[in-house]
């Protein structure tokens, strides 16, 4: 899993065009909002049914410039279908991951967050580790004023686990408790 920090406009520029993010590379213009992953398999005529798996496998977090820096505000995401594998048994663990942050200069791009969250589905990882890893990766990418990542894991073996990871840069506002 890699965390992407886009180069500082060196040959690549992202532009918001009415809800679409257009990425330019030199003189070429690519519309990333169009999903062209339903390509046919080398002339066989069959639809590619594993394009989602490849997107997840090659996922990386992306960010965009916060356009509302004149005030602090909260962004909140719920990821109710989070899955990973128990590192001891290999059985699946299911959780609701809640992410709340107060952005400074950067915001996380939602499709990249979705693919990043889904990339844990086949990883053997402890609840504490995955919750803190998500927080660490988002702090590294965004450097927010404040962030809280909550992992609310389903009951396993009569035990319910809730992990909360917090990071703060002395924001003017404090996130209230859930």
Which residues are catalytically annotated? 86, 93
Hunting for tokens 């894991």 — which residue is that?
A: 153
Residues 6+ apart with CB under 8 A from 148: 98, 99, 100, 101, 135, 164, 165, 166, 167, 175
- For residues 147 and 138, is the Cβ–Cβ distance under 8 A? yes
Where are any strands of DSSP class E within 12-125? 12-17, 20-25, 28-31, 60-61, 63-65, 75-85, 92-102, 106-108
Q: What is the DSSP letter of 36?
A: -
DSSP state of 176: P
∠132-133-134 over CA atoms, to 5°? 90
């Amino acid at each position: 899993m890699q965390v992407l920090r886009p180069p500082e406009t060196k040959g690549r520029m992202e532009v918001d065009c009415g809800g679409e993010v257009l990425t330019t590379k030199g003189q070429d213009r690519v519309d990333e909002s169009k999903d062209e992953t339903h390509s046919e398999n080398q002339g066989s005529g069959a639809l590619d049914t594993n394009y989602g798996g490849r997107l997840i496998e090659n996922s990386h977090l992306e960010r965009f410039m916060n356009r509302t820096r004149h005030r602090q505000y909260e962004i909140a995401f719920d990821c109710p279908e989070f899955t990973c594998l128990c590192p001891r048994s290999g059985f699946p663990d299911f959780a609701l991951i809640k992410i709340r942050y107060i952005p400074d200069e950067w915001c996380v791009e939602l499709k990249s967050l979705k693919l990043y969250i889904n990339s844990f589905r086949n990883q053997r990882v402890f609840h504490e580790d995955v919750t803190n890893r998500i927080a660490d990766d988002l702090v590294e990418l965004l450097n927010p004023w404040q962030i809280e990542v909550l992992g609310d894991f389903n009951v396993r073996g009569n035990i319910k686990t809730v992990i909360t990871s917090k990071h703060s840069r002395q924001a003017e506002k404090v996130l209230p408790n859930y």
